[in-house]
Structure 1
Amino acid sequence: MNKTEKTKKKKNKTAANEPEGSAGKILRAARAEFSKYGLAGARVDRIAEKSGINKAMIYYHFGSKEKLYQEVIGYHLSRIADFIGHASTEAADPEQMLAKISDFYQDMFLHSADFRPIFLRELAEGGGRLKDAFASVFAEKNIQLKMKAIIDRGKKEGIFRNIDSIHAIISFVGMNIFYLIAAPIVNQMWEIKDAEKFIQKRKKTVPDLFLYGLLER
């Protein structure tokens, strides 16, 4: 790989903080485009117009529409992975770690309006690209092991009861994101008028419900 290719790869590498300059402008426009139209319906012409970057530069930075789409998915997953990585080392105890991660999950799905449609479309289409991105980003940052270590530490310290750590993690994630991806249906079913207020309350309720199932009693 020559110097130019290395520089290009470094610029395009997805991180919790999006790239600066042209690549960042392209990614911001692409997130909105893919969210609204999906991969098949998205148009590089519109991304170029919204970002103010010509098509040639878009292909220079990302190679193809498919690769740009993968970068958008990777950007969001990297945000999750980076936060979990920090929370797993900065919080004082396992309960605090899980509470911080729960708060982040719900804030991200609430405020990252462009991620939810992409996430749901990917699941509806079999989740192939999402699965590959999860495998790449989470494996690189050892997120599965860090999440498992939080539960294992709680069990070792006698805070959590002896429950299967992997099942606990899957349940924890599900409790955090289910409402946020099914909100239109849930809001109508339960006549929730103020979704923002409901989510703020849920951010406190979910960790309580989850931890009650883990705590030694």
Structure 2
Amino acid sequence: MTLQRPINSRGARTKRALGVQAVLEWAFRVEKAQLELPVRKDVSDEGFGFGLEYVLLQRAALGCKVDGGQHKIGSYTHADAEVVAATVAGMPERLGGIRMAISVAELARAGITPDWMPSVVPRCVPMETKSNQHGERATTIVVGTERVLTRGKWRTVKVLACPVTWRPHPEQIASARRGYEDWWEALDWVRDGLVVGGMLREVEVTTAMPKLRPWK
């Protein structure tokens, strides 16, 4: 997705409106923006990204008057993409910190969303199976004995049971969906940070978001 600003009726270029997921994929997948993750103890947990001062310094170092992004020259990365990367890198600890920042960036770079295990339904299956010439059968275990009367005689017989489990386990599905919700919250924070920061020159971040709970 090459970022090209549309031209309005007056001949002036306008910002391109994109949802936050599309912005992230453009920054990390197309522009190849990289996360810079220094250890900074002076960052407020509630702050957006590295703060506007940090982003301004980064843009000054890049040379912000370059109107680029349509054709990458060498290792040039669009300045707006750098702002997006700086914002993601400042992910607060309450949302997962550096771990979540890396996850958001890598998912965007791959152009995918977290696997929330769509259409998966837990099934009750034997814990173990064994195969022989007659096919595959569930493994059983002895859970006790019983005295039974057969043909006029009392006999002791084994009571067998088949241990079962749920696959995938409901907790696996719940964990995957909690992970998706955490990712969604992180994207919501990034979107707010980019809007409040007002540092993007060619992109307007819209309110569009992925579905919060697509499994419902």
TM-score by length of 2: 0.28
Which structure would you say has the larger RCO, counting Cα contacts within 8 Å and 6 or more residues apart? 2
Comparing both structures, which one devotes a greater share of its residues to strand? 2
Pair member with larger Rg: 2
TM-score by length of 1: 0.27
Comparing both structures, which one devotes a greater share of its residues to helix? 1
